[in-house]
């Protein structure tokens, strides 16, 4: 299991699918919503988009189905958010990652670096009882370029006041792992530690 290296001075955690077990619910919400708009979304499609904000996912799925002139991406993402919110009380912590947070809290500075929006991220942290562990949170509202661009993680590093090379990044998606690499940080792929959705 995880043990920080001697050079580790900070940690950044993705939220959805890394710290909070939200991805099965997000997938269900996307599937339900897409079907109501006459589209299908595969697990592989969503997995390849993990770490990107909902409005980008919305645009890409509409484009994939060739329905750009028939479906408004804002309407789709709004409906998806409403569908997800109806299920959000089912969100639970991913214990193996939560245990890392609790073990090193107060020892190694930590931040959240998520492709989700601030309000949703704040609610998710509260739902899993982990709000108190993070003073720094960078969301889709705080950056102009999203994962795999490194801006999310670099901004978090700046707020932590820690050099990127001394930060471990915990991620469950390829885009996030790539963003960590581009930021010059140490990417930790948590997927081998958790049950696949």
pLDDT 10s digits, 111-170: 999 998 899 899 999 999 999 999 899 999 999 999 999 999 999 999 999 999 999 999
pLDDT at 196 over 80: no
Average pLDDT, the chain: 95
- Does residue 20 contact residue 91 with C-beta atoms inside 8 Å? yes
Name residue, tokens 């995880």.
Answer: 2
Please name the residues in contact with 3: beta carbons below 8 A apart, sequence gap of 6 or more: none
pLDDT at 1 over 90: no
Express as a percent the part of the chain with pLDDT over 70: 99
Cα gap 184→48, rounded to integer Å: 22
Q: How confident is the model at residue 195 (pLDDT cuts 50, 70, 90)?
A: confident
Catalytic residues: 14
Q: How many helices and strands (H and E) does the chain possess?
A: 8, 5
Evaluate the CA torsion angle 142, 147, 151, 152 in order and state its sign: positive
Q: How confident is the model at residue 90 (pLDDT cuts 50, 70, 90)?
A: very high
Q: How confident is the model at residue 50 (pLDDT cuts 50, 70, 90)?
A: confident
- Does residue 60 contact residue 49 with C-beta atoms inside 8 Å? yes
The whole model's pTM is what? 0.88
Angle at 127 (CA atoms; ends 183, 139), nearest 5 degrees: 25
Please name the residues in contact with 109: beta carbons below 8 A apart, sequence gap of 6 or more: 9, 10, 11, 136, 160, 162
pLDDT at 197 over 80: no
């Amino acid at each position: 299991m995880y043990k920080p290296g001697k050079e580790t001075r900070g940690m950044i955690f993705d939220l959805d699918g890394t710290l909070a077990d939200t991805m099965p619910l997000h997938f269900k919400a996307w599937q339900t919503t897409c079907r109501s708009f006459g589209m299908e979304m595969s697990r592989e499609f969503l997995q390849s988009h993990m770490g990107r904000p909902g409005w980008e996912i919305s645009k890409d799925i509409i484009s994939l189905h060739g329905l750009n002139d028939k479906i408004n991406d804002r309407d789709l993402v709004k409906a998806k958010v409403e569908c997800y919110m109806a299920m959000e009380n089912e969100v639970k912590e991913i214990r193996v990652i939560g245990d890392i947070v609790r073990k090193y809290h107060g020892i190694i500075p930590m931040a959240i670096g998520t492709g989700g929006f601030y309000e949703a991220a704040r609610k998710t942290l509260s739902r899993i009882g982990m709000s108190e562990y993070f003073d720094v949170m960078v969301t889709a509202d705080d950056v102009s370029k999203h994962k795999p661009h490194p801006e999310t993680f670099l901004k978090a590093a700046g707020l932590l006041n820690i050099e990127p090379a001394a930060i471990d990044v915990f991620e469950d998606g390829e885009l996030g792992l790539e963003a960590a690499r581009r930021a010059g940080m140490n990417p930790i792929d948590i997927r081998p530690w958790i049950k696949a959705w």
